[in-house]
Amino acid sequence: MRNTRIMLVDDEERLLCTTKKLFEKLGFEVLTCTSGKEALELLEQTDVHVVFLDIKMPGMDGIETLQRIKKKFPFVEVVILTGHASMEAAVEGLKLGAFDFLIKPVSMKELLENVEEASAKIHRQKQRFLSARKENQE
């Protein structure tokens, strides 16, 4: 799990800085972005496993960013974060492939649980892919 690379996308720089430090103390590699556009550019350059994505951001919002991430990087797990308790946004995000939806403020325990669960899902998907590939080669 500690080899899981995390990306935090939020326009609140103080939140990014604090959360990044907490994850790094636990041994994770963490990338931060302040916009959806920046996140997509960074995903092109770096292998990321779990993205924590704020919904309310200037420019490209979290829902549009989520759509673009899932289209181009289907194996990246995205957890939507919002300070605005909107069940409509939660449902839309989950329909678009978000792994989970959390309402700010979020505890480090909740974030870690999501990283663990998302990492386990990624591992299962990779195992299924490798098994299917092996069966096709036989």
pLDDT along the chain (138 residues), means of 10: 87 94 95 97 96 92 95 95 77 92 92 94 84 79
Strand, helix or coil at 60? coil
* Residue 22 and residue 108 in contact, taking contact as beta carbons nearer than 8 Å: yes
* Residue 113 and residue 43 in contact, taking contact as beta carbons nearer than 8 Å: no
Cα-based angle 41, 42, 45 (whole degrees, multiple of 5): 100
Predicted pLDDT of residue 85: 63
Predicted pLDDT of residue 94: 92
Q: What fold characterizes domain 5-137?
A: Rossmann fold (3.40.50)
Neighbour-count burial of 3, counting CB atoms closer than 10 A to its CB (0-12 exposed, 13-18 middle, 19+ buried): exposed
Selection from 105, 86, 104 nearest residue 94 by Cα: 86
Predicted pLDDT of residue 95: 94
pTM (2 d.p.): 0.90
Predicted pLDDT of residue 64: 96
Predicted pLDDT of residue 137: 80
Predicted pLDDT of residue 2: 62
Q: Where are the domains positioned within the chain? A: 5-137
Predicted pLDDT of residue 62: 92
